[in-house]
Amino acid sequence: MKLRHLEMALERCAGFTRPRAPLEQYGTPAVVAARLLYHAHLKGDIGGKRVLDLGCGTGVLACGASLLGAAEVMGLDVDSGAIGTARENAALLGADVTFITGDVSDDTLFPVFCPCDTVVMNPPFGAQKRHADRPFIDRSLACAQVVYGIFNAGTRPFLDAYIRGRASVDEAIACSFPLKRSFSHHTRDRMEIPVEIVRIIQK
């Protein structure tokens, strides 16, 4: 599958029906999701691999990983409504994903998922709840050797310091995350948030 075809497929995914600000529910736009996944695919981290999408929301990353030929894909999100939409998206696209409702910090869930080969995630940036990104980083490193994540461009020094001694950022791709007005604290109809797609590898 070509990058453009992946992007077109992911554009068909439904987003959050009622996005919840405290959970930082920002669906990854198809163009950004496809970019992350295709890059991971070219690095050999998707095809034939066991892939976990942490904080999968409506499942765009998980579905894309399945379309690119992952052997097994799992998606986890704390919001059961989002998981319902994710299941509908997977059915629409013909993606084979196991979606589970649960909290990233719940240790009892993870024997189901881990170990896996690759984690993909667009975690909360910690803008609403301070340090909300940390359990995602910790869990991803506990589960997989290779992690692809979308992070606010400004948080890179924090990320580097937080994972030091455990893992390191191997590559970072700067990109722009188009955001439509979705919460009352948004002052403009459209914004472009500078983000980085990072590849993190374990020591």
Which alpha helices (H) appear in the chain, and where do they start and end?
A: 3-10, 30-42, 60-67, 80-93, 110-113, 134-143, 156-163
CB of 203 to ligand SAH, least distance (A): 25
In angstroms, the CA 168 to CA 6 distance is: 28
> Which is closer to ligand SAH, CB of 18 or CB of 165?
18
CB of 48 to ligand SAH, least distance (A): 22
Q: By Cβ distance, which residue is nearest to ligand SAH?
A: 57
What is the CB neighbour count within 10 angstroms for residue 201?
16
According to DSSP, the β-strands at 98-101 and 146-152 are unpaired
- Nearest Cα to 150, choosing from 53, 10, 68, 84? 53
Give residues in contact with ligand SAH (CB under 6 A).
23-28, 55-58, 60-61, 77-79, 82, 103-105, 122, 124
CB of 112 to ligand SAH, least distance (A): 14
- Nearest Cα to 37, choosing from 201, 202, 197, 200? 197
CB of 4 to ligand SAH, least distance (A): 19
> Which is closer to ligand SAH, CB of 61 or CB of 163?
61
> Which is closer to ligand SAH, CB of 57 or CB of 197?
57
> Which is closer to ligand SAH, CB of 125 or CB of 158?
125
